[in-house]
Amino acid sequence: MCDLNDFANDFKFLLDLKSYLKEYIETNASKNVGDEINKGIHSKLVDSRSIRIVLPRGCDVLRSVSLENDLNFVGFIGFSKPADQVSETLRDKVWDIDGKLIEEFSNHEDIIAYLSAERTIGGEWGNLVLLQSFDAVEKWRDCPVHHTAINEIAPLYYTRVRIHRGRIQNGSISPDQTLFLDYDFTPTNRCVKVWNE
């Protein structure tokens, strides 16, 4: 069964990230932001939550896309297992695969931005990926690093995840579908909610 609890909070979180990115681009419009943005810069949201921005193609590509108009997105909301169930070795694997995934972005021309931030201060993180086209999703599924992350790491680290896909239109989330994965079941309980039925 699809767990629809807090999906409205998911969408607010994803819009917060998009708004922060818009501010960042406007603030740095005249600056020559270096290559570090391709690998990720760390900052803080207004309420002191940590955020990381990765622009695989740099600021110029994002400046050519209106952040006010329609944008394709994928949003990841994960719920990790209690700390006493996650070994230091597994934590290291999570950060290692995270770094490899960021490196992989440069091989996917339709990925224009990746933002990762705390949903609450010191709490769980979530991700927003902005795409020029949903073709990126199909290519990303074939990526061996992504395959390792979802099949080998995620079931050990998370209890459940929600992956939203859709468009951001006129400052609102317009979801197409949400994939729910519950790792407390064997095999993993999967459910897809199609929003425009």
Per-residue pLDDT reduced to its tens digit, 18-39? 988 888 887 876 565 555 566 6
pLDDT tens profile 48-90: 999 999 988 777 776 666 666 678 999 999 999 998 999 999 9
pLDDT at 41 over 90: no
Is the residue at 168 inside a domain? Answer: yes
Q: Residue 85 is part of which domain span?
A: 7-28+38-194
Is the residue at 23 inside a domain? Answer: yes
Q: Is the peptide bond before 155 cis (omega within 30 degrees of 0)?
A: no
- The pLDDT, as a whole number, for residue 28 is 72
Q: Residue 42: name the closest of 52, 28, 34, 56 by CA.
A: 52
Question: How many structural domains are present in the chain?
Answer: 1
Tell me which DSSP letter residue 188 carries: P
Is the residue at 93 inside a domain? Answer: yes
- The pLDDT, as a whole number, for residue 30 is 59
- The pLDDT, as a whole number, for residue 186 is 85
Domain containing residue 76: CATH number = 3.30.70.100
Is the residue at 33 inside a domain? Answer: no
Is the residue at 120 inside a domain? Answer: yes
Is the residue at 155 inside a domain? Answer: yes
Is the residue at 73 inside a domain? Answer: yes
